[in-house]
Structure 1
Amino acid sequence: MRHSYTPTVAELEAFCATARAGTTIQAARSLGLTQSAVSRSITGLEARLGVALFVRARQRMTLSDAGRTFLREAEALLDRLNDAAMSVMAFGGQAQVLRMAVLPTFARLWLIPRLRAFQATMPGLSIDMAARLSPVDFEAEPFDLAIQRTHHRASGAHHLHLLDEELAIVAAPSLIGRAPLSRDEVLRLPLLQQSTRPTLWPDWCRAMGLDPRGALRGARFDHFDMVLDAAIGGLGVALVPEILARPALARGDLTLAAPGDVRTGQAYTLIYPERSAELPHFARFRDWLRAEIEGIWA
């Protein structure tokens, strides 16, 4: 229920525009309204709230203390309203939208190149994808699913194992000259670092019985796709999930620098809330995804 003191959207827009412009004339021009319409909105808003939002001096309008406080909230409200409208517009005339949060490099290198085949099976479906490195709060966010690792598990959500994470050591053929390298030879090369998972190289050293103290040297990058690009460019040796390196390995841009995969104890996981289980397009995507994952090992 709307209360008598609750501002209208027009009043919020007039207030924010005037706060930015400093005059109702400039605000009216930016909004495509008349100056009198903007003035009426501001006067009405101040009457609703029972407080002066502006200090009027000559031809200028500057925010009062109350106005400065209200501006932050008003702009945030308009931003959220705009986001809500954009979210609905994402349907784009389609009957259904599948909203997903996906690990950035997994999305770019593995999932997105395959999505055309999935959409061909559901031409009325629109995809809304966001890159996400942190766990998803399905109660607060409108995602239908997330594809992340095991440690991103969400409370109250379902978790479907997709595949275990296995790391591979890769490098540009021009860097290593020959392969495979010994463990000591690997450590003598620059080790490319992934900043959100900084323990990968030290953990590998410990697993191999090597001294991990020198394992953090080398260029550092935010995402695995950056690490892979750096490896392709010959900047060093990369320790990355094997599934992400497959395209570059198949093209010959990278080669396995050392034998053997390293298991991290993590797994790629499909995470989804109970409400998604009732969506036919989610069920279709889940089944398609599992078939694609199984096809990796076929």
Structure 2
Amino acid sequence: MREGYIPTITELQAFSACARLGATTRAAHALNLTQSAVSRSVGTLEERLGVRLFHRVKQRLILSDAGRALHRDVDRLLEDLQQAAMTVMAFGGHADVLRLAVLPTFGSTWLVPRLAAYRSVAPNLTFDISARLDVVDFEADGFDAAIQRGDHRPPGAHADMLMEEQLVVLAAPSLLEGRSVLADSELSHMPLLQQSTRPTLWLDWFRDAGLDSRTILRGARFQHFDMVIHAAIAGLGVALVPEILARAALAAGDLVLASERRLVGDQPYTLIYPHRSQQREGFMRFRGWLLQQVGDEALISRR
């Protein structure tokens, strides 16, 4: 499309207000403009596109077929522009912003609580963090890095393994009724909380124990591990979750280990990033800090 055909923001705002309010006077009041300015913008837009966008009926503006087709997209475009502007404003003057895609529960329980300490390392850097379960397309999504399970690297990207996943069985103390741990045969008769994005976890657990997984009692199903953990705290059943995500609940006594066994997950937590991120000092400093945090975590786990 030639640049001359692309509407201006002023034209789109005038068109949207007229379509919504049905009159240039009301649109002008809503936009804090003069009526002539709104009429001129709508007229210029119609001339630019070569179609009539409104029917003028007794001082009332009625959308034409072309106008209705355009209106469906214009409000979305204006909303996207406003959201983009608000996002940038929310950075609060920080020029260096890292956009990260992070596994939801790993982000909320492990990464975010540590970010306050990172301010002493890089006080001029801030974060834009999104929860993602699926593979990230760095070019299309604009992320600087992702923390995921496994090595889901697009072409040209790099990966640093952070830590293995250690899965443990947890329950509220009241659910165990005074018992310290349960045998796998006892676990199979308990309500077993399910994680919907990883539905085979309990099957893997009982297969590893040499038991027929078809006989297990399945409990309520939740989308994220933090929901599973809170359901276990509420006594809804037994949870099989990564130990690193449940440490706070274990330390507080809200949950206890219900089995002496552990299961190593099939994919480790991994930092994945495109080649362009290596050119950013802020990212490389964050990467070094993150790897140091992982090293400290490994020392804690071995104690």
Q: TM-score, normalising length from structure 1?
A: 0.94
SS at match of 2:165: strand
Q: Name the counterpart of 1:125.
A: 125
Contact kept? 1:90, 1:128, Cα under 8 Å: no
SS at match of 2:286: helix
Distance 1:214 1:104 in 2: 31
Contact kept? 2:191, 2:217, Cα under 8 Å: no
- The letter of the residue matching 2:188 is L
Change (3 A) 1:182 1:64: same
For residues 9-29 of structure 1, the C-alpha deviation after alignment (integer angstroms, 9 at most, x for no partner) is: 000111112222222233223
Distance 2:259 2:71 in 1: 58
Q: Name the counterpart of 1:73.
A: 73
> Would you say 1:267 and 2:268 are equivalent positions?
yes
How many pairs were matched up?
A: 298
Q: Name the counterpart of 1:92.
A: 92
Contact kept? 2:163, 2:270, Cα under 8 Å: yes
| Cα deviation, residue 198, structure 1 | 1.4
Counterpart mapping for 1:248-263 below 5 A: 248-263=249-264
Alpha-carbon RMSD across the aligned residues, in angstroms, is 1.8
Percent identity between the aligned chains? 58
For residues 192-234 of structure 1, the C-alpha deviation after alignment (integer angstroms, 9 at most, x for no partner) is: 1111111211222222222222447211111111110111111
For residues 171-211 of structure 1, the C-alpha deviation after alignment (integer angstroms, 9 at most, x for no partner) is: 11111122210112112111111111112112222222222
Distance 2:215 2:39 in 1: 67
For residues 237-279 of structure 1, the C-alpha deviation after alignment (integer angstroms, 9 at most, x for no partner) is: 0111111011111111111111121112111000101010011
Q: Name the counterpart of 1:280.
A: 281
| Cα deviation, residue 103, structure 1 | 0.7
Change (3 A) 1:48 1:254: same
Contact kept? 1:157, 1:271, Cα under 8 Å: yes
Contact kept? 2:23, 2:61, Cα under 8 Å: yes
- The letter of the residue matching 1:27 is A
> Would you say 1:180 and 2:189 are equivalent positions?
no
* Residues 30-39 or 223-232, more deviating: 30-39
Q: Name the counterpart of 2:154.
A: 154
Counterpart mapping for 1:97-246 below 5 A: 97-150=97-150, 152-177=152-177, 178-215=179-216, 217-246=218-247
Distance 1:130 1:225 in 2: 16
Structure 1 unmatched ranges of 5 or more: none
- The letter of the residue matching 1:194 is Q
Q: TM-score, normalising length from structure 2?
A: 0.92
Distance 1:168 1:105 in 2: 16
For residues 27-79 of structure 1, the C-alpha deviation after alignment (integer angstroms, 9 at most, x for no partner) is: 22322222322221111101110001122322432322211221233233323
Change (3 A) 1:68 1:156: farther
Structure 2 unmatched ranges of 5 or more: none
> Would you say 1:33 and 2:33 are equivalent positions?
yes
Q: Name the counterpart of 1:10.
A: 10
Change (3 A) 1:183 1:249: same
